[in-house]
Chain A
Amino acid sequence: MIRDLFLLGLHNILRRRTRSWLTVLGILIGTAAVVALISVGQGLQRSVVAQVERIVGYNTLLITPRGGLAGRFPLDVDALSGVRGVQEGMPVRTEMVYAEGPVGRGFLPLVGYTPAMEALVPQLEMGFEEGGGLVRRDQVVLGARTAQVLGAGPGDVVLVEDHAFQVAGVLVRQQARAGPAGLGGIPLNDGLLVQYEALRALFPGPNLVQYAIVQLMPGVDVVLVRSDVRRVLLETGTTGAFLTSFEDVTEGIGTILGGVQAFLAGIAGISILVGGVGVMNTMYTAVLERTREVGVAKAVGAKRRQILLLFLLESGLMGTVGGVLGLLVGLGLAWGAVWLTGHLFALEGLFVPVFNVPLIVGALIFSFVVGAVSGALPALRASRLHPVDALRRV
């Protein structure tokens, strides 16, 4: 029976094609707007989260100085690495030193190397143009440009602050600044690398680092470990530092983005409601025009709820068609917007729109409901028509 009433409704919609299309258009536009906004918003959020992962990765904590890039703070690396749940604490410390090589000399950055750097520092390229890595405390690795400036290669002796170091190798040219984005980067092309302990020996006193990356063991409760780390840092005299986790950043971003998205989607949602008003208008007109028809239907035995169902299915169907088409248009809009902003602002590939099943199903259900609800009052009116009055209507 429902199928038959549905087919009757479909018949009616197809017979008044232009009017039906115009009605559908309202819901189509609204749905397209909502779908486009949400999918772009979700894509943006995902992309931002991915970007954040380049700054502070998943399952890592970042300790940064309170004074900004130029600041430093004292850090007890052993205590840090000893915290339960922490796999490794990796300090980043660079000091300006006077270096002398066979040919050239100058003030260059000296970087303290820990093996953890290879895993934890983003974009660090640990390959060698010549020679190999640091094995002994009295060895130094030169950056690509440093080797040229100093005129040194593997086996040569370089004086760093009047201390002799043997060159173990020359790094490949780094394509990008190594290090978490936004933290200044580790100057490897123009720098020298010695083992961390060697650096500390050269600069005795408190271990003043620029920042530290803390790698957590997989599966730990980040919140718990973070508070333990904070406690240990305080106990070991680390002051003037921020402790940040991936979750902190993404949570904050998520809240902001989510708020913006909800606001925009809400506005777009208003346009769906306007589309619903269009459906209501069409259905009221339809009821008016088909009053006689309803009278006939009742005369031949249609019950109230059957009439109600007939009109509801019609308006619901129009809503759904609007929803399906709106979904497709929204898809196109989202991709178009991404492509356009990519081209205009040279941000190709920055993010892709997200279309997941909940969004699609939600859009379809919502558009059907808007259609049906908008048609409800007219349908109710139709079902309540008195047969004789309805038949008398000219």
Chain B
Amino acid sequence: MSEALVALRAVTKVYRLGEVDVLALAGVDLEVPKGDFAALMGSSGSGKSTLLQLCGLLDRPSSGEVIWDGQEASAFREDHRAELRGKHIGFVFQTFNLVPTLSALLNVEFPLVFQGVPGRRRRVRAKELLTRLGLADRMLHRPDQLSGGQQQRVALARALAADPELMLADEPTGNLDSHAGREIMEIFRWLREEGRTIMMVTHDPEVASFSHRILRMRDGLLEDGA
């Protein structure tokens, strides 16, 4: 049993929406071992995305602890958390979230700029990743010149730019047709075989079948614990 890359202990998350407090997570315990590929499923509003965000240090829990690589991460200062995200976590979103004014190449280099990686190394790394993902002839295209599947591949390349241990994907195939979706899942299969830790939110059972285990969420709680 490998040690946990990310762990949640009695984590709750409350959002204030106007005058109402929404309990997105009602007390979650979770361990994500290194090399694990977990699929998070559940109905809308069950808290899946929130869970993903907390694992990715994008947000802090209202109570409880988020343990990152053995350390209590919720106490870290924002700048430190940003650094961790940059170095160790890759995000893939349903809506791709590419910078519309940058080419595919620059989009992939984007995270590396904030890490202070020098220009030439960034360029080499970005080209390598885009080529590996089948986009060698699209490097200078902007997002509005790419299909959905191509955009998501660029987003994947961006997520992989810093060679992160943890990949977090929120409905990565949600906006894609089945063909493009399969292409993306093939890539995730490679990543799984490479030994990366992956957590993916999805509503698609076919997508979930690529994972090692399925975690179901309901009303802010994990149905079977971890």
Tell me whether A304 and B116 are in contact (CB under 8 A).
no
* Closest B residue, CB atoms, query A12: B101
A residues sitting closer than 8 Å to B (CB atoms) are: 1, 4-5, 8, 11-12, 15-16, 292-293, 295-306, 386-388, 391
Alpha-carbon distance A304/B81, docked complex (angstroms): 11
Tell me whether B91 and A302 are in contact (CB under 8 A).
no
Known: A4-B113, A4-B119, A387-B58. A301 touches B85 (CB 8 A): yes
Tell me whether B56 and A299 are in contact (CB under 8 A).
yes
Known: A387-B58, A388-B58. A300 touches B114 (CB 8 A): yes
Pick the contact of B79: A16, A292, A299, A304 (CB < 8 A). A304
Residue numbers in B under 8 Å from A295 (CB-CB)? 97
Tell me whether A301 and B111 are in contact (CB under 8 A).
yes
> Is B59 positioned at the interface, with any CB of A under 8 Å from its CB?
yes
Tell me whether A306 and B114 are in contact (CB under 8 A).
yes
Known: A1-B113, A4-B119, A5-B113. A302 touches B101 (CB 8 A): no
The distance from the CB of B200 to the nearest CB of chain A, in whole angstroms, is 16
* Closest B residue, CB atoms, query A386: B59
> Is B110 positioned at the interface, with any CB of A under 8 Å from its CB?
yes
The distance from the CB of B152 to the nearest CB of chain A, in whole angstroms, is 14
Alpha-carbon distance A305/B79, docked complex (angstroms): 9
* Closest A residue, CB atoms, query B119: A4
Tell me whether A11 and B102 are in contact (CB under 8 A).
yes
Tell me whether B110 and A300 are in contact (CB under 8 A).
yes
Tell me whether A293 and B99 are in contact (CB under 8 A).
yes
The distance from the CB of A29 to the nearest CB of chain B, in whole angstroms, is 27
Known: A4-B119, A292-B97, A391-B93. A300 touches B59 (CB 8 A): no
The distance from the CB of B11 to the nearest CB of chain A, in whole angstroms, is 15
Chain B, interface residues (CB within 8 Å), range: 20 to 34
Residue numbers in B under 8 Å from A299 (CB-CB)? 56, 58, 85, 91
In the assembled complex, 16 residue pairs joining A and B whose CB atoms fall closer than 8 Å, in A order, are: A11-B102, A15-B101, A16-B101, A292-B97, A296-B98, A297-B110, A298-B58, A298-B85, A300-B158, A301-B85, A301-B111, A302-B82, A302-B114, A304-B78, A388-B58, A388-B59
Q: A296-B110, A301-B87, A387-B59 are in contact. List 10 more A-B contacts (CB 8 A).
A: A4-B119, A8-B113, A15-B101, A296-B99, A298-B85, A300-B110, A301-B83, A301-B86, A301-B114, A302-B86
Tell me whether B58 and A296 are in contact (CB under 8 A).
no
Alpha-carbon distance A300/B156, docked complex (angstroms): 12
Alpha-carbon distance A301/B101, docked complex (angstroms): 19
The distance from the CB of A103 to the nearest CB of chain B, in whole angstroms, is 95
The distance from the CB of A225 to the nearest CB of chain B, in whole angstroms, is 66
Tell me whether B82 and A298 are in contact (CB under 8 A).
yes
Alpha-carbon distance A267/B158, docked complex (angstroms): 50
The distance from the CB of B116 to the nearest CB of chain A, in whole angstroms, is 5
Known: A301-B162, A303-B79, A304-B78. A296 touches B115 (CB 8 A): no
Known: A302-B82, A303-B79, A387-B59. A296 touches B116 (CB 8 A): no
* Closest A residue, CB atoms, query B54: A388
Tell me whether B114 and A303 are in contact (CB under 8 A).
yes
> Is B211 positioned at the interface, with any CB of A under 8 Å from its CB?
no
Alpha-carbon distance A366/B52, docked complex (angstroms): 47
Residue numbers in B under 8 Å from A391 (CB-CB)? 58, 93, 97
> Is B53 positioned at the interface, with any CB of A under 8 Å from its CB?
yes
Residue numbers in B under 8 Å from A15 (CB-CB)? 101
Alpha-carbon distance A261/B85, docked complex (angstroms): 55
Alpha-carbon distance A12/B86, docked complex (angstroms): 22
